Amino acid sequence: MPDKEATARIKINKLLEAAGWRFFADGTAPANIRLEPGVTITSTDLDALGANFEKSTKGFVDFLLLDANGFPLLVLEAKARRCRPRDAVASAGRRSSR
């Protein structure tokens, strides 16, 4: 199961980057994706996770996308295809209330 999740996250990362979202500052453009609000993650930290996000000891929102002013715009909650949208909304609500 962790391999499937890691593969999915890598695919989502690439899709977000292709759409113009940034995990890291690029020149004068700031990063506009956060993996957890208030926590700075470096490229070294991200590389250390490798393909296995399961070994992380900290909880993450899947993706927090920021607007041009650095304010939260939306939370992207990645779910398996078999997950019903209603269940994903309920899960996101539980996680956001922690």
In 26-96, alpha helices (H): 43-49, 85-96
Find, among 5, 80, 74, the residue nearest to 88 by Cα. Answer: 80
pLDDT 10s digits, 20-76? 999 999 888 999 998 765 455 566 766 776 666 555 555 557 788 999 998 888 878
How do the domains of the chain map onto residue ranges? 2-96
Instruction: Record the pTM.
Output: 0.60
Contact partners, residue 96, CB within 8 Å, separation at least 6: 61, 75
Rounded Cα distance between 64 and 22, Å, is 11
Rounded Cα distance between 9 and 49, Å, is 12
